[in-house]
């Protein structure tokens, strides 16, 4: 008897990164955007902590976006602008 494999419901780090990157590219099409992770968490289905960690990673890897840690007042504000 062979076991039937169910598709994994786990989200891979690449899926999370891709989802956030797509969101940022879409929002920044008209110019720079500013946001706090906690305010976009529901829209990208990630926790604010996950977003913060991914933003640091994307700052170096996303060549089509300029990502800058802008300020810190109760949470980090990020500035994103298309290159």
Contact between 24 and 64 (Cβ < 8 Å): no
For 14-40, write each residue's pLDDT tens digit: 899 999 999 999 999 999 999 999 999
Which pLDDT belongs to residue 14? 87
State the architecture of 13-82 in CATH terms. Answer: Orthogonal Bundle (1.10)
Domain ranges of the chain: 13-82
As a whole number, the mean pLDDT across the chain is 90
Radius of gyration for the chain, computed over Cα atoms and rounded to the nearest angstrom = 15
Taking the whole predicted model, whether its pTM rises above 0.85 is answered as no
The whole-number pLDDT of residue 34 equals 97
> Tens of pLDDT along 56-68?
999 999 999 999 9
Q: How far is CA 42 from CA 10, 24, 64, 70, in A?
A: 18, 14, 24, 21
Burial class (CB in 10 A: 0-12, 13-18, 19+), 51: buried
């Amino acid at each position: 008897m062979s076991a039937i494999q169910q598709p994994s419901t786990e989200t891979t780090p690449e899926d999370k990164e891709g989802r956030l990157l797509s969101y940022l590219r879409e929002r920044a099409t008209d110019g720079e955007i500013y946001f706090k992770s906690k305010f976009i968490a529901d829209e990208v289905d990630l926790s604010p902590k996950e977003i913060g960690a991914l933003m640091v990673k994307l700052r170096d890897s996303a060549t089509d976006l300029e990502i800058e840690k802008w300020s810190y007042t109760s949470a980090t504000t990020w500035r994103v602008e298309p290159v």
